[in-house]
Chains A and B, each alone.
Chain A
Amino acid sequence: MHRFARDNRVESLVSISRKNAGLRLFGAAVNTVEFTALVGAGSLLAGFLGSLTGLGGGVVIVPLLSLVFHVDLKYAIGAALVSVIATSSGAAAAYVKEGFSNIRVGMFLEIATTIGALVGAALALYLRASVIAVIFGLVLIYSAYTSLRQGPHALENQPPDRIATWLRMDGTFPGEHGLESYHVRGVPLGFAIMFVAGVLSGLLGIGSGAVKVLAMDKAMKLPFKVSTTTSNFMIGVTAAASAGIYLSRGYIDPGLAMPVMLGVLLGSLAGARVLARANVKVLRYVFSGVIGILAIEMIYSGITGGL
C-alpha cells in the first residue's frame, strides 16, 4: 500500500517534468547534478558574503531559490531553515568559548523564541505565498537597513533591574581590563520582541538575528559583543523548533537541502576565516544593496502573484 503510494507520486513527478520538458534555468535544460552544483555554488556565495557582512547567509537563500531557481516558497524556506541551524551552531561553537554570550539571558529568551517559532511555522500553513513573500521583503529591507546604520552603543553601566536581578541575568564579559560586569534591563520588552523574532524565523525560515540583536541591544541594554554572540547562540534553537515542524510536514526536501546546507556552511566558515583581513565596509554596502533589490523583487512577485 505504502510502496504503491510512493510509486504513484514518483510517476506523477516524472510526468510533470516531462510535460515541462525538464527543468530549464536561464533558458537551458539542466539535469540533477547541474542543478545541485548551481544551487550549491549560489549557497556558497550567500554563506560567504553573509558571514563577512554579519547579515547571515540564510537571509538571501529564500529569495535566491524562489526568484532565481523558481523553487516553491515552502521548499525554499525549509532548506534555508536547515542552513540557518548549521551556520548558527558552527559559529556558536567558536563564540561560546570566548565567553561573551550570556547563557541565562539566552535560555530565558528562548522560551519566547521557540513559542514564536512554533506559532510562525503554524502560520506558514495558513498564509498565502504572496503574503509570506511581502512580509519577507519587508524583513529583508529592515535587515539591510540595520546592517548599514551602526550607531554608537551606550556603554555606561546600567543600574540593576528588579526582574533581571531575580532571574540572575547580570553577567561579565572579557573586556580590555579583564572581566567587566554589566546589568541587564527591560526583560519584558526584550521577551516580547523575541517572540516576534521567533514568529518571523518560523514563518520565513531565517535566523532573524537583526530582530534578536534589537531586543538585547536596545531593550535590554546588553553590551554589543554580548548581544550579538547571545543572538547567534539562540538562532539555532529557534530554527530547530520550527525545523521539526517543517520536516514532519514534508517541506524539507533532501535533494534541495543538501547543496544549500553544505554550501552555506562552507561559505560561512570561509567568510569567518577571511573576516579578519577584509575591508568589510564596502562589501557591506554592496551586499545590503543586493538584499534591497531582492527585497523589492520579493514584494513585487508577491503582489503580482509571481511566486
Chain B
Amino acid sequence: MTIPKPESIRSILATDCGSTTTKAILIERRGEEYRLIVRGEAPTTVEAPFEDVTRGVLNAIMEVEELAGRKILDGEKIMTPQSGTQGVDLYISTSSAGGGLQMMVSGVVKSMTGESAQRAALGAGAIVMDVIASNDGRLPYQKIKRIRQLRPDMILLSGGVDGGTTSHVAEMAELLAAADPKARLGAGYELPVIYAGNKDARKIVEERLAHKTALKTTDNLRPVLERENLTPARDMIHDLFMEHVMAHAPGYRKLMTWSPVPIMPTPGAVGLIIETIAREESISVIGVDIGGATTDVFSVFQGVFNRTVSANLGMSYSVSNVLAEAGLPNILRWVPFEISEHDLRNRIKNKMIRPTTIPQTLEELIIEQAISREALRLAFEQHKMLAVGLKGVQQERTISDTFEQTASGETLVRLDHLDLLVGSGGVLSHAPRRAQAALMLLDAFLPEHVTELAVDSIFMMPQLGVLSTVHPKAAKEVFEKDCLIRLGSTVAPVGPGKEGVTALRATLEFPDGRRETLSIPYGYLKLVPVPEGQSVKAVLNPDRGLDLGAGKGREREVVLKGGVVGVIFDCRGRQPFTLPADRERRISKLAEWNEALDAYPVAVKV
C-alpha cells in the first residue's frame, strides 16, 4: 500500500486506539483547507470477549459513517481511495491499547546513560518499567531477577561514550543474557533488544545477545558525555514497535494492513504535535494527556523536548492508584461538599473495575475532576524530576566538573517561563464546561506569572500527530481550527499574601478602547471575559511581596490573549498555594472559586 501524494488527498480517516476508547475522526478538504467533519468513538476491543482491536476500530468508523452520512466501509474493509462520496483517500492510526509500549532500559551510569536511555524510550512513546544500571544499587542477581519478572515488550541497552571503556557495557549485556528475558505478548517470538551504546562494544554485545534475543544495533544515544543523540534510538523503537509488539497484539496484524502509514504509539504522536507548536511559535509549552491508564506530560523549554509517562496515573484503569499515591485527604481537599471516606473509596474502586462508565450526576463529575487534579499534579511532579538538562553542556569545564554537575541536574521545567499549557484527554477535553478544564489545569499545575491555557477540543492530538508525518498542512489546519481550543490567559502573582488584602491591581485596555481597572484581593479568583481571537493590553501592579515576572511589587505590561473562558486573575497564591485547613472554610472557598469561573451549572451546596 502506498501513501497518496498530499495534494491528491481529499479525505482522511484517523483512529486512535486508546486503552479504554477507540476514537475515529474524519477530515475533509473543503475548498482550500482541511477541516474536521465528525468524530466517532467506541469501546476498545483488545480485550476479551473480542480480543481484536479492529472490532472497536470498525465500530468507531461506523459511528463516523452514521454521523457524516457517508459510506466508508465496504463490509469490514475501509474503502480507499475515495470514490465519489464514498470511502477515504487515507487511513492512519495510533495506538496505546493493551497497555501501550512497555520497555525496560539499561545504561551504565544510572544518572547519565541510564537517564538518556530513559528519555529516548519515553520520547518514543514508551512506558519505562525500570532502569537497570551498573550503579543502581542492586546486586547482579537482583537485577537478573527483576529483568525476568518484568517481561517488557522491548529492551533498550545503552552505556558508555564512543571510544570509552567496554567492560561495563559487557557486564550489562551479560546480565541480560543470563536473565534470558521473555517478551510480554506471545511466547513464540524473540524479545527485541536495541543496543545504542559505545560503538566499540557492539561486537561484545552481539556475542552475548544475538543468539538469545532479536538484537538490533543503532548509533550511540550518548556519543560524548556532553551530547545526547536520541533520534536513531527513538526511530528504531518505533520500527520495532510495529514489527514485533504490534504484530503480536490481538488484531493489530490486520489493522496494520489497513494503513500505508505505520501505526504510531499514541504518546509519540502527541509529542510530535507539542514539539511542533513550541517550534513554530518559539514558546515554552507544557502538554498533558490524561488517559484511562496513564498520564503523559510533554514539555518544551529552551527548545528541549521532554516527555514522561506516569504509567499508573489515570482516570479509569488506574483511578484507584491515584487514590493510593495521592492519599485520600489530597483528593478530598478538592471536593466542595461532604462525602464519607467509605463512600468515596467504594466509588473509586467501582470506577476501577468498570472503567468505561461516565459521571451521571454533578456530584460524580466533581469527584472525578477532584481525582484528576491529583493525577495531573503527581504526573507533573514526576515530569519535573526527569526533564532535566544535560548538565553543564555549554560551560567550559574539566572532566571533574562534568561528574559533579551530572549529579545535580536542575529541572528544565520553569513554571514562571511557561507560555502555553495544553490539556488533553477525556476528563479535560470532555469537561462539560471549558471553565472546569481551566480550573483543573490551574489547580494541578499552578502556572505562574502569565500563561495561556488551552485544551484539545475533542481529544484528537494523537491522530493529528501521526497525520503531521504524512500531511503537515492538513494536520496544522485542523489543529489550529478544530483541535486547539484556546481557553484564555491566566495571571498568577507569586509569593505569600494575606487573605483579603489587595494582591493585584490591573488596568485593562480592550480592543474597542474600553478601559477597566480591577483590584483583586489575595485568595480570590476573578474572571474577565475576553473572547477567543481577541487580546487585552494590561498594566499589572502586584502587591509589594508578590512577583509577576518583573520582580516583587514591580509593574508589568503584557498583552493577555482571550479565549472561550477568558482572562483569569488567579490571586490564590503561588509558592505557597494553600487551601484552608478548616473543613468548612475550605468548602466555602472552593465553592467561591467555582462560582467565580461559573464552573458548574448550580452552586454546589455546602
A binds B: no
